[in-house]
Structure 1
Amino acid sequence: MEYQKIIRNWKEFELPELTPRELELPIYKDFITTISGPRRVGKTFLCFQKIKKLLEDGISKENILYINFEDEKLINSDSKDLENLLNAFLEASELNKNQDLFLFLDEIQVVKNWDSWIRRVYDTKKEARIILTGSSSKLLSREISTTLRGRVYNIEVFPLSFSEYLTWKGQNLKIKSILEGGKDSIIAKKYFQEYLFTGGYPAIFRNPQLKNEVLQSYYDSMIFKDIVERFKVSDVKKIQILAKLIFESTSREISYTNLSNKVKSLGFSMGKSTIIDYLSYFEEAYLFFQVLKYEYSFQKQLGSIKKVYCIDNGLLNSVSFSFSENKGKLLENLVFLALRGAKKEVYYNRGKFECDFVVKEKNKVIQAIQVTYELNSGNRKREVKGLFEAMDKFKLKEGLILTYNEEEKIEIDKKKIFVKPIWKWLLE
């Protein structure tokens, strides 16, 4: 491996033009910063955004190293390669001794035994600020050695939020005007219709005509690189079948028994334990998320029927073409992603009726949210009762129904239910 050439390429590399994300990437003296998230959501560009800020703040580029380990020249790298790359960088650089050393190591999970090397650098090079990225939600707990736990600060990167989507579309809208129904609200609503179906993967902005092809390639990479190769899945066909069934079940409750029966009806067998394993792989790759039913007993909660959500509406529509017909479920998926992106602890509630989301904070449910495309004579009673039941259970005075475009206030027994358009709620 030509270590010097790799370092030289970095030194000659010019940072691309960047459309900034709303995310900040803090770097702390006593912590390793990790950036986790699915493929192609902008983890690399977040690193570049931070490097640009460091340079603007006067940090010498001689003190900054960035390496992407999915570069074909670095295939099958191990901890020895990490050591050789760092030494080659130190030898080729005129370090500013008065400044810290910044190491940006992109897609680190593909390097064999990387965690032991990171631990040693963390312990021995006190001037080093280490920033790692990876396409695994378990980058922290599964792979960072126990000696580093408690010394890691993690940031999750998801596809663009609606606010970021508007910025990337060149729309510098005034939030106050949107929320108060001003002229900007018409523009926001127009772009929300687009966002609902296309999702927030950044590459779609550059190649809108290739949306389905690009998103299908992302899905294939998740399945083959992040799941099949990573977890050594032997039966690729089965995991592809299960993934397609989960896509069709997005924003709905799933039963392991029902999934097993569906797989069987397609001519394959898949036991409950295999389904549980595969679902955990999907979650680690940031393809799907599982939401538990709220129960006061932890044991009951774990054994409850889960609901599933997908990382991106555009991906969902591209892989499962029929899903776009159900706008209500697309809206629900979008609300989940907003809550998950805000690091909310989310459950669903089911009694006689269902409430789509209850948000827990410090051992207490603080919010109940119902999602529906519209309130009409056929569903109004059911949607309101499901929300009211959750409000009553958790002693909440206010509840929220999110719709595509309706706005009103409902009062029942001194409890208030606010009905809001989702596109307004996403910008609050």
Structure 2
Amino acid sequence: MKLKARPLYLDKLLAAKDNGLIKVITGMRRCGKSSLLKLLGQRLVSAGVPSDHILTINLESFEFASFDRTQLHDRIMGLMHDHDRYYLLLDEVQLIDGWERVVNALRVDANVDIYLTGSNAHLLSRQLGTLLSGRYVEIRVFPLSFAEFLRYTGELDRNTAFERYMRYGGLPPVVDQGTNQELAYTVLSGIYDTVLVRDISQYLQIRNPMVFNDVTRYLADTAGSPVSISRIEHRLKSARRSATNDTIERYISGLLDAFLFHQARRINVKGGDYLQGLSKYYPADPGIRNMLVSYHQGDIGPLLELIVHNELKTRGYDVQVGRMDNLEIDFVADRISADMTDERLFIQVSATIMDSSTRDREFEPLHRLHNASGRRMILTLDTFGLGSVDGIDVVNALDWLTHSE
């Protein structure tokens, strides 16, 4: 199958080419990291790099199942037969214990520009923080955004595409199944099982997979709602599957480290400080969420909120949940712009605000922020009543999702 371009990430890699830093590409399983390396290899060849100077090694291959760091180092060094510039594309690097020593040795001893992918933040951060601290740049890859999804599928009807996107998500191998629900859910289940076995179990030592799955499904089912660890503990106990708070927190950390979920912490909008507990957790992809808890027509509101959250992450925002007195703001999103100034968004998400009570509820917290620095927005699927109202922008969500800002 022909690889489909993902310029958002490929351009970042090409901009960092030969900059003296190791490029570390992170993200959940099957989000497109390996394809991105292949696309990079193709671009390097088209730019005149000899193909035998592009060394692509996928450590998931059975060929490397028993490799240790010494064997990996020797294999790579054996492929470099002159002193010209080489490009090393090393896929799923966390599978080799001590890989950071190999990479550091190559950085020091060889004329090589190094690109790595990894699917476990815990293992990567532990290893990157030692020998490679200050010597790498991380490029985070996400599942297809809705705008990418439209280009990837060639779907011309935006509403039809969004309904499909809400149901099946944006993981490329799932999107490739079209609208075949059975095949899509088979692929999604396989991805989840791989994440559990390869990226979580190996360091969490999960003794009771059923409890772990219960915690995962609870987070998926309550996406967009504050999560109480004690409430999860009580729920497990009532199902005769007891687990301590520490165990539950460890499982949640594992899901975050495997990039399967994102955490949105609560922030006091007035004071700027973080509030303890009751964070929200969002699955990294709507298809994963629906595989875990099933898709229902009434889920449009929560799924829209999930998609907006993930879009903000894709655009490089740090995303929190805002609290102000007794009111909540769905998202307080910050990022540093190209001119090094801080951009802040205050966003409410609602499938519709045509009902007057819903409209008042969504507007109220944003009205109270009239002195705050940042853009105030309501994202909705409505196509009427859009525009600026008292400095608050009411924007159609599909327009916002398909136009980068």
Q: TM-score w.r.t. structure 2 length? A: 0.89
Q: Is the 8 A contact 2:56 2:90 kept in 1?
A: yes
Give 1:309's match in structure 2, choosing from 268, 272, 282: 282
1:155 is aligned to 2:139: yes
Aligned-pair CA distance for 1:103: 0.7
SS of the residue corresponding to residue 281 of structure 2 reads strand
Following the alignment from structure 1 to structure 2, what is the Cα–Cα distance between the partners of residues 296 and 411?
22
Following the alignment from structure 2 to structure 1, what is the Cα–Cα distance between the partners of residues 298 and 232?
22
Which 5+ residue runs of structure 1 have no aligned equivalent?
A: 1-15, 172-183
1:105 is aligned to 2:90: yes
SS of the residue corresponding to residue 358 of structure 1 reads strand
1:58-97 equivalences under 5 Å are 58-90=48-80, 95=82, 97=83
SS of the residue corresponding to residue 154 of structure 1 reads strand
Query: What one-letter code is carried by the residue in structure 1 that aligns with 2:394?
Result: V
Give 2:27's match in structure 1, choosing from 29, 37, 41: 37
SS of the residue corresponding to residue 141 of structure 1 reads helix
1:220 is aligned to 2:193: yes
CA gap of 1:324–1:298, structure 2 versus 1, over 3 A, is farther
Give 2:378's match in structure 1, choosing from 396, 401, 405: 401
Aligned-pair CA distance for 1:116: 1.2
Aligned-pair CA distance for 1:298: 9.7
Q: Is the 8 A contact 2:388 2:394 kept in 1?
A: no
Deviations for 1:132-168, whole angstroms, at most 9, x for unmatched residues? Answer: 1011234652222423111111111111111111111
Following the alignment from structure 1 to structure 2, what is the Cα–Cα distance between the partners of residues 381 and 405?
15
Q: Is the 8 A contact 2:386 2:394 kept in 1?
A: yes
1:250 is aligned to 2:234: no
- 2:121 aligns with 137
Q: Is the 8 A contact 1:406 1:419 kept in 2?
A: no
1:202-213 equivalences under 5 Å are 202-208=172-178, 209=180, 210-213=183-186
- 2:367 aligns with 388
SS of the residue corresponding to residue 382 of structure 2 reads coil
1:166-185 equivalences under 5 Å are 166-171=150-155
Identity of aligned residues (%): 27
Following the alignment from structure 2 to structure 1, what is the Cα–Cα distance between the partners of residues 217 and 209?
13
Following the alignment from structure 1 to structure 2, what is the Cα–Cα distance between the partners of residues 323 and 141?
37
Deviations for 1:234-270, whole angstroms, at most 9, x for unmatched residues? Answer: 2222211111111111111101111111111111222
CA gap of 1:422–1:139, structure 2 versus 1, over 3 A, is farther
Runs of 4+ in 1 over 4 A off after TM superposition: 296-300, 361-365, 409-412
CA gap of 1:386–1:323, structure 2 versus 1, over 3 A, is farther
SS of the residue corresponding to residue 356 of structure 1 reads strand
- 1:424 aligns with 399
Following the alignment from structure 1 to structure 2, what is the Cα–Cα distance between the partners of residues 296 and 206?
42
Deviations for 1:320-368, whole angstroms, at most 9, x for unmatched residues? Answer: 1155531100000000101111120111112322110012346967220
- 1:241 aligns with 214
Aligned-pair CA distance for 1:66: 0.5
Following the alignment from structure 1 to structure 2, what is the Cα–Cα distance between the partners of residues 239 and 111?
25
Farther off after superposition, 148-157 or 196-205:
196-205
1:371 is aligned to 2:345: no
Q: Is the 8 A contact 2:168 2:175 kept in 1?
A: no
SS of the residue corresponding to residue 147 of structure 1 reads coil
- 1:339 aligns with 312
Following the alignment from structure 1 to structure 2, what is the Cα–Cα distance between the partners of residues 298 and 426?
30
Q: Is the 8 A contact 1:248 1:323 kept in 2?
A: no
SS of the residue corresponding to residue 301 of structure 1 reads coil
Q: TM-score w.r.t. structure 1 length? A: 0.85
Aligned-pair CA distance for 1:301: 1.8
Q: Is the 8 A contact 1:79 1:111 kept in 2?
A: yes
Following the alignment from structure 2 to structure 1, what is the Cα–Cα distance between the partners of residues 283 and 190?
16
Give 1:116's match in structure 2, choosing from 92, 101, 108: 101
Following the alignment from structure 2 to structure 1, what is the Cα–Cα distance between the partners of residues 107 and 275?
37
Q: Is the 8 A contact 1:316 1:323 kept in 2?
A: no
Please give the root-mean-square deviation of Cα atoms over the aligned residues, in Å.
2.3
Farther off after superposition, 114-123 or 142-151:
142-151
Deviations for 1:362-410, whole angstroms, at most 9, x for unmatched residues? Answer: 6967220000110123422111113323x247355x4211112334357
Following the alignment from structure 1 to structure 2, what is the Cα–Cα distance between the partners of residues 302 and 85?
50
Which 5+ residue runs of structure 2 have no aligned equivalent?
A: none
Give 2:3's match in structure 1, choosing from 10, 15, 18: 18
Following the alignment from structure 1 to structure 2, what is the Cα–Cα distance between the partners of residues 83 and 411?
59
Q: Is the 8 A contact 1:216 1:318 kept in 2?
A: yes
